[in-house]
């Protein structure tokens, strides 16, 4: 995954978007992050860049760490958050260019999904650039560590032609766009939404709980 480029592009778009948001939009609750508003998502993104660049956090960040990042910036206005992220973001991009360990792709995964989390909360259309890479990263991991007790699944990205084999034998096939697959396996689709995707073969109910690599939301998400 081209983590540095993905991160930089997402950051640039989010910084441009932040400059256009009014107070009500910044106070909008983000359904994919139900404890956070749009502004608090920006606080997390700024805080994560600062923490990783300063060597205080090695990805992935725990919920305790991300909560601390948001709490520490509770009194910061959006301009201050933008300024902090603008200052520390390039250092994180430089780190992503040089680090080879898989964990250093996680900030790119994080910012790509949070960009779509924010866009969904604000009623904006999805940002699908690089969905092929964002689907491949978690699905490739699932393919390597698929639980032996879970039914096997062939996953097909209908728009890119990518395929992944989860387990042996492919009792089921799951088809969807790379964007939908990326969102589904990274905790941005409820189990009901996953079950409603394009499945063929056996009953997908025993499989659906194994697909999200982060906890699935309790309610459906639009983007």
In this prediction, residues 147-173 reach a mean pLDDT of: 92
pLDDT reported for residue 11? 98
Helix axes 3-18, 106-121, angle to 10 degrees: 30
In this prediction, residues 55-80 reach a mean pLDDT of: 94
Q: Say which residue the tokens 């999904």 belong to.
A: 113
In this prediction, residues 167-191 reach a mean pLDDT of: 94
Instruction: Report how far residue 208's alpha carbon sits from residue 185's, in angstroms, rounded to the nearest whole number.
Output: 10
In this prediction, residues 214-221 reach a mean pLDDT of: 92
Instruction: Report how far residue 192's alpha carbon sits from residue 194's, in angstroms, rounded to the nearest whole number.
Output: 5
In this prediction, residues 195-210 reach a mean pLDDT of: 93
| Choice between 168 and 2, residue whose per-residue pLDDT is larger | 2
Residue 171 has pLDDT above 90, yes or no: no
Contact 10, 115 (CB under 8 A): yes
What is 131-210's CATH number? 3.30.1050
Instruction: Report how far residue 157's alpha carbon sits from residue 47's, in angstroms, rounded to the nearest whole number.
Output: 34
Contact 84, 46 (CB under 8 A): yes
Among 18-27, 126-135, 170-179, which stretch is predicted with the lowest mean pLDDT?
170-179
pLDDT reported for residue 94? 96
For the chain, the structural domain boundaries read 3-121, 131-210
Q: Give the confidence band of 202 by pLDDT, cuts at 50, 70, 90.
A: confident
pLDDT reported for residue 150? 86
pLDDT in tens, 113-158: 999 999 999 999 999 999 999 999 999 999 999 988 888 999 999 9
Residue 100 has pLDDT above 90, yes or no: no
Q: Which CATH superfamily hosts domain 3-121?
A: dinb family like domain (1.20.120.450)
Residue 35 has pLDDT above 90, yes or no: no
Beta-bridge mates of residue 33: 30
> 115: closest CA among 165, 26, 45?
45
pLDDT reported for residue 170? 78
pTM, full prediction: 0.95
């Amino acid at each position: 995954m081209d983590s540095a480029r993905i991160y930089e592009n997402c950051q640039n778009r989010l910084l441009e978007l932040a400059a256009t948001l009014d107070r009500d939009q910044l106070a909008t609750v983000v359904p994919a992050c139900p404890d956070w508003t749009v502004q608090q998502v920006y606080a997390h993104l700024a805080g994560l860049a600062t923490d990783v660049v300063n060597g205080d956090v090695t990805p992935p960040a725990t919920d305790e760490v991300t909560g601390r990042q948001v709490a520490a910036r509770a009194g910061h206005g959006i301009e201050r958050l933008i300024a902090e992220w603008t200052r520390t973001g390039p250092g994180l991009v430089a780190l992503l260019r040089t680090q080879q360990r898989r964990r250093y792709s996680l900030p790119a995964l994080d910012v790509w999904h949070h960009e779509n989390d924010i866009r969904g909360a604000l009623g904006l259309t999805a940002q699908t650039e690089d969905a092929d890479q964002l689907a491949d990263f978690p699905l490739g991991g699932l393919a390597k560590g698929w639980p032996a007790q879970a039914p096997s699944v062939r996953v097909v990205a209908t728009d890119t032609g990518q395929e992944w084999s989860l387990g042996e034998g492919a009792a089921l096939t799951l088809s969807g766009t790379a964007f939908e697959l990326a969102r589904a396996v990274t905790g941005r689709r409820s189990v009901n939404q996953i079950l409603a995707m394009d499945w063929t073969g056996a009953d997908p109910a025993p499989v659906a709980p194994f697909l999200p690599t982060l906890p699935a939301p309790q309610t459906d998400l639009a983007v």
